[in-house]
Copies of this chain bind each other. A is one copy, B any other.
Amino acid sequence: MGSSTADRIVVRGHDLVEDLIGKVSLGDMAFLELKGRLPSRQESTVFNALAVTLVEHGMTPSAIATRMTYFGAPESVQGAVAAGLLGIGDRFGGSVEDAARTLQEALAGAGSSPDLATLAREIVATHKEKKAPIAGLGHPIHKPIDPRTPKLFAIAAENGFSGRFVELMQVISAEASRSYGRDLPVNATGAIGAIASELDIPWRVSRGLAVLARAIGLVGHIQEELDEPLAAEIWTRIDQEVSGE
């Protein structure tokens, strides 16, 4: 949080005017808000890479909600962005959170020399028993691998953030592929959940990372609606189809 007097504004212990404006980027400001301190150069590179990956995923349900809402309430940019964010729930933003939670809970209870293979077997077995998908594995479109994953893992490694969380995510992927008898590579949300854990971002906050990045992408969708409106046409097509049934 911040505080203000007549000539000074402080954000998380930093003088906004002297130390932040013009000196830190928006991504580093987001790191400050999530972690309470500014990032090192390496942390900044890794954190910005995660956030950039989450900004824009095309015409998702969340983007459609933003465009429909902007069509009905053009006076309220904030309402259109809010409507889109509300869809970053269990099915979408939740997968980053679930991956981070699985990794953080497994390693929190595992002592200083964890046996990753055993942890991975337990995680896969538990999910299999509950018939629950393992967050962060597989992708309906990006096959055989999600191209974002090796890129993110490489950036993490180059900057010293490829530790036990990343390794455990990979061991889980191998164990799940073996156990289910089909390729289940780490997808982008799995990579982000693992690397966010390396940056010591608590899993409860990790969905917030998806939310703040997506807010940027949704403003982009509104900008596109201003340039080249699609909402009315999308609506008409849906309406025709539904009426035609």
Contact = CB atoms under 8 A, between A and B. Distances in A.
**Which of A1, A44, A60: most chain B Cβ within 10 A?**
A1
Contacts of A224: 1
B4 A142 contact: yes
**Which of A20, A26, A142, A230: most chain B Cβ within 10 A?**
A26
Given A21-B155, A211-B219, A59 B91 contact: no
A20 B213 CA distance: 14
B234 A238 contact: yes
Interface residues of A, number: 107
Contacts of A211: 77-78, 81, 215, 219
**Which of A30, A73, A239: most chain B Cβ within 10 A?**
A73
Nearest to A234: B238
B21 A52 contact: yes
Contacts of A89: 69, 72-76, 78-79
Interface in A192-245: 202, 204-205, 207-209, 211-213, 215-217, 219-224, 226, 230-231, 234-235, 237-239, 241-243
Given A217-B33, A220-B33, A208 B83 contact: no
A123 interface: no
Given A215-B215, A223-B205, A20 B72 contact: no
A65 B62 CA distance: 8
Interface in A84-132: 84-93
A213 B25 CA distance: 12
Contacts of A212: 81, 215-216, 219
Interface string A26-39: 11111011101000
A171 interface: no
Contacts of A85: 78, 81-82, 85, 215
Interface in A131-186: 141-143, 147-148, 151-152, 155
A86 B147 CA distance: 35
B1 A56 contact: yes
B26 A52 contact: yes
Given A21-B155, A152-B21, A216-B30, A72 B61 contact: yes
